[in-house]
Structure 1
Amino acid sequence: MERPPAVILAGGLGRRMGGDKALRPFLDATLLHAVLERIAPQAGPLAINANDDPGRLAAFGLPVLADPLPGRPGPLAGVLAALDWAAAVGAPAVLTVPCDAPSCRPIWLPA
C-alpha cells in the first residue's frame, strides 16, 4: 500500500497554550518536531497547515498551507486545506493529524 500524504494541523491561535502551538517546547524540541518524527515514517508527502507568517516554519522544509477560508473558522478549515493540497498532488485521500497530540498512535484499519 502506498503511503498517504499527510498534513499536520497547526493553524489554531493557541490561546490556551499561550501562543503558537506547533512551536511550543516539548521534550527536547517542539510539538511539531515530535509529531513530524512520529508521522513521517508512515506518510508520503508531508505539509503543515498554519496561518500567519509561513516563514516561522521554514526550518521544517515543508509546504505550509494556509486556511482557504477567512476568519479562522476552526480545524475543519485546515482539513479543507489538506484536501485541496492532496487533490493538487494527485492523491485520492489525505491523513490529517493535530500538532498538539505528539503521543497519539495512528491506527490503520483495512478498508
Structure 2
Amino acid sequence: MSFRDQTLGIILCGGLSRRMGSDKSQKKLGDNKLIDIVIERAMSQVKKLALNANNLKSDKFNLEIVPDCQVGNLCPLIGILSGLIWTKKNNFEWLMVFPVDSPFFPKNIVELFFNNLKNEKIVMAKSNNKLHPVFSMWKVDLINDLELAIKNGQRKIDVLTKKIPTRLVNFNNIGYDPFFNVNNLNDLDKAENIYKEFF
C-alpha cells in the first residue's frame, strides 16, 4: 500500500486571524486565495482532503468540512483531534495536517514524512532550527491521547509531542522558507514577493 493510500489530509482553517484583521484563508497571492493554493499543493499528496473550519466561505473545490469537535476555538489541537476522528470514521491510519496560512510547503512532504518514519506515531517538520508543529502527521490511534491532553488543559502541540514518540524531519531553505507563515499584512507582503519570484 502506498503512503497516499494510508493517509487523509486536513487543512486547519479555524484560527481567528486576529493579527490579520480578517479571514486569512481568503487573502490572495497573485490571483489565488491562500486556501486554494494550500488545497492544490495538498490534495495530490493524500487520498482525501477536508477542511477543518466552523465559519468558512465555500472553496472552489467543494471539499468536505470537518467542524471542531469541541466548541470555543480552543487551539490547533482541537482541529487535529477533529481530523483524527474524521480519519477513523473513514478507516484510514494516518492524518496529515496542513495550516491554511503556509502556502509554500513541499509538494512531497507526505512522502518525505513516510520515508523518515520508523515506529513513531507523529512526524513533524523542522526548518531553520525551528519546529513547525502544525505541519505534522498523526497516527489515528492517538485520539484518546489528544482527548485526555485537551481535557487536562494542554493547548500546545509541541508540548504534547514531547510525551509521544515523534520523528522530526528537517527541511532546508530553497531560496525561501517552505514553511513561511502568513500571520499579518506584513507577512502577506513578504509572501507575495516569494510567490512572484518562485511560483
Structure 2 unaligned spans of 5+: 119-199
State whether residues 51 and 63 of structure 2, in contact with CA within 8 Å, keep that contact through their aligned partners in structure 1. yes
Is 1:15 aligned to 2:30, yes or no? no
CA–CA separation in structure 2 for the residues paired with 1:58 and 1:28 = 14
Task: Map 1:42-81 to 2 at 5 A.
Answer: 42-52=45-55, 54=56, 56-57=57-58, 59-81=60-82
CA–CA separation in structure 1 for the residues paired with 2:44 and 2:15 = 25
Q: 1:58 to 1:27 in 2, by over 3 A?
A: closer
Matched residue, 2:8: 5
What CA deviation, in whole Å up to 9, does each residue of 1:10-39 have, x standing for no partner? 111111112112111122211111111111
Name the SS of the counterpart of 1:5 in structure 2: strand
- Which of the two has greater strand per residue? 2
Matched residue, 1:82: 83
Higher relative contact order (CA 8 A, sep 6+): 1
Structure 1 unaligned spans of 5+: none
Name the SS of the counterpart of 1:94 in structure 2: strand
CA–CA separation in structure 1 for the residues paired with 2:28 and 2:17 = 13
CA–CA separation in structure 1 for the residues paired with 2:74 and 2:41 = 27
State the one-letter code of the partner of 1:13: L
TM-aligned CA deviation for residue 2 of structure 1: 4.0
TM-aligned CA deviation for residue 110 of structure 1: 3.7
CA RMSD of aligned residues (A): 1.4
State the one-letter code of the partner of 1:59: K
TM-aligned CA deviation for residue 93 of structure 1: 1.3
Query: For the pair shown, which has the larger CA radius of gyration, 1 or 2?
Result: 2
State the one-letter code of the partner of 2:38: V
